[in-house]
Chains A and B, each alone.
Chain A
Amino acid sequence: MRVFVASVGLTKIGDHWNKSLVDLAVEAGRKALSSKIEPDYLIIGNMFSSLAASQEHLGALVADSLGLKGKPAFKVEAACASGATAFHTAYNLVKSGASESVLVIGVEKMRDLEPEYVSQALAMAESAEYTQFVGASFAALNGLLARLYMHETGTTRDELSSIPVIDHKNAVSAWHAQFRKEITPEVVSRSSIVADPLRLFDCAPVGDGAAAALVVSERLVSEASKFVEVLSSSVCTNNFSIYERDDMLSFSSTREAFEKAISTASVPKGKISFAEIHDAFSVTGAISLEAMGFSKKGFACKDAAEGKYSLNGELPINTFGGLKARGHPVGATGIYQIAEAYLQLTEQAGENQVKGARYGVTQNMGGIDTTTVVHVLGSAE
């Protein structure tokens, strides 16, 4: 069974002080439901509603709110990869013939939490007993990774800033982005230190947001006015903590998920028009580009600085700003990436349009490459 995305819906990412978790999920869900197609299944991607809103059981709660009472509905969680794993679940339901149409909503409410509790919430992606216990936050692990990466590859501070610079440039014309302002490498290197050598502008911001996609079968897709095909969906896992891995810089689950995804989709690497990558931190974006083979080991930031990954470059990345500038409401991020790929492949990306976009790749990670989900989407033929 072929699988398609028939519509998407987004909220702007930022401070939604007057909207709840469910308000945001309903807003994105309704936008994706504006077509004639009724969903027969609802899947929610979310990481820490338990901590941020004292709320679990999101499937039934959002289903009832959207008028989908009676339909099967539940939440899928894989830390920051919750959105893409929710989408992966929807893909498999339609692919297998178990469902004709699945509404997937990724949602996260982060700004209701005090900053140290945002750190606590994100740290839940890592070991409670051996990472959180010693006082290491998720940013701390990424700081450790960044120092090692710079030491091993000779990447400089300014080179590391090149991916955040691309993100911010692309977000200027993205209405749903959290930060729509260009920056220079100096802005990154002079921002406050979070976890040395990582600075504030190396790190994705904290924001609220929801994104939705309606995943449909071949039979229903003719009802959609614009659609894209999901050519593959691949999830891989790694040894849980980076310090438990022989090579901390290899990102084997990104590599394996990507290779499996392009092989299943029968899309050669050279035919990929753009990639939405998981740069929760500048360093994870860089290593991800290397793990997928777009840059040689240690060269991702240099390639970015030379324009390879810019909107008009050889392989545009993060075409609406990526995690750094579009924003990273964790459990929603994977669906934002899918929605942005949909906008590119249906030529609705406006000023951010990648000319002649044919195939798009999305890469969404939970932890530091601990769970990685890669999707390949193609424009309608």
Chain B
Amino acid sequence: MMAIQYWRNKDRYYRLIGVSCTRCGRDFFPPVYRCRKCGSEELKDKEMPKEGKIVTFTRLYETLPGFETQAPLNLAIVELKNGVKVLGQVVDTPEELLKIGAHVRAVFRRIRVDGESGQILYGYKFVVEHVDARRETG
């Protein structure tokens, strides 16, 4: 990805800024140009909720260029609390907790280092909420 393409999206990548329809209230991430529910083109930026649950997941062994050192990569489609589905990596999670229905939260992480420029790209990833850990911390 070109540096400028990344820079343009940094708010979306850093804080999960999507859009919300000002007419019907439906949220979208990635942003859309036209509301898929009511057809309105009046959309404004909105930060997505950070909690959700795993709809489906995979472990990818043949990674894209730039992700080799992270292989295998856990990826999931997560349904956020507002119903929006987001694709992202799942990290810092023991394999046995990676399940359909598992509760996750979005975190800010390094995505990869761009091979050509050496630039470090950051963005959202997900971690599974550890039930035991939550109980311990009250």
A148 CA / B101 CA spacing, docked (Å): 11
Give residues of chain A (127-178) contacting chain B, Cβ–Cβ below 8 Å. 127-137, 139-141, 143-148, 151
Partner of A144, one of B64, B76, B89: B76
For residue A203, which residue of chain B has the nearest CB?
B62
A196 an interface residue at 8 Å Cβ cutoff? yes
Known: A144-B76, A147-B100, A151-B56. A134 touches B87 (CB 8 A): yes
Residue of B57, B121, B125 with most partner-chain A CB within 10 A: B57
Chain A nearest CB from B120 CB (Å) reads 14
Contact between chains at B111 and A134 (CB < 8 Å): yes
A132 CA / B58 CA spacing, docked (Å): 15
Contact between chains at A195 and B85 (CB < 8 Å): no
B40 an interface residue at 8 Å Cβ cutoff? no
For residue B112, which residue of chain A has the nearest CB?
A135
Contact between chains at A136 and B30 (CB < 8 Å): no
Known: A136-B75, A143-B60. A127 touches B1 (CB 8 A): no
Chain A nearest CB from B4 CB (Å) reads 12
| A contact residues around B55 at 8 Å (CB) | 148, 248
A123 an interface residue at 8 Å Cβ cutoff? yes
| A contact residues around B56 at 8 Å (CB) | 144-145, 147-148, 151, 248
Partner of A135, one of B5, B60, B85, B100: B60
Partner of B87, one of A116, A151, A241: A241
A237 an interface residue at 8 Å Cβ cutoff? no
Interface range on chain A (Cβ under 8 Å from partner): 35 or more
A181 CA / B71 CA spacing, docked (Å): 31
A380 an interface residue at 8 Å Cβ cutoff? no
Bits for B37-79, please: 1 = Cβ < 8 Å to A, else 0.
Answer: 0000000000000000001111111111111101001011100
Known: A144-B56, A144-B57. A135 touches B30 (CB 8 A): no
B23 an interface residue at 8 Å Cβ cutoff? no
Contact between chains at B61 and A192 (CB < 8 Å): yes
Known: A129-B30, A147-B100. A136 touches B61 (CB 8 A): no
Partner of B62, one of A129, A139, A148, A241: A139
A193 an interface residue at 8 Å Cβ cutoff? yes
Contact between chains at A136 and B1 (CB < 8 Å): no
B86 an interface residue at 8 Å Cβ cutoff? yes
A136 CA / B62 CA spacing, docked (Å): 10
A123 CA / B9 CA spacing, docked (Å): 19
| A contact residues around B65 at 8 Å (CB) | 116-117, 119-120
Contact between chains at A129 and B73 (CB < 8 Å): no
A194 an interface residue at 8 Å Cβ cutoff? yes
For residue A196, which residue of chain B has the nearest CB?
B59
Partner of A129, one of B9, B67, B68: B9
Give residues in A with beta carbon < 8 Å to B.
Answer: 115-117, 119-120, 123, 127-137, 139-141, 143-148, 151, 192-198, 239, 241-244, 248
A-B contact pairs, 14 of them (CB 8 A): A116-B63, A117-B65, A119-B62, A120-B65, A128-B1, A132-B64, A133-B13, A134-B125, A144-B76, A148-B77, A151-B100, A196-B60, A243-B77, A248-B56
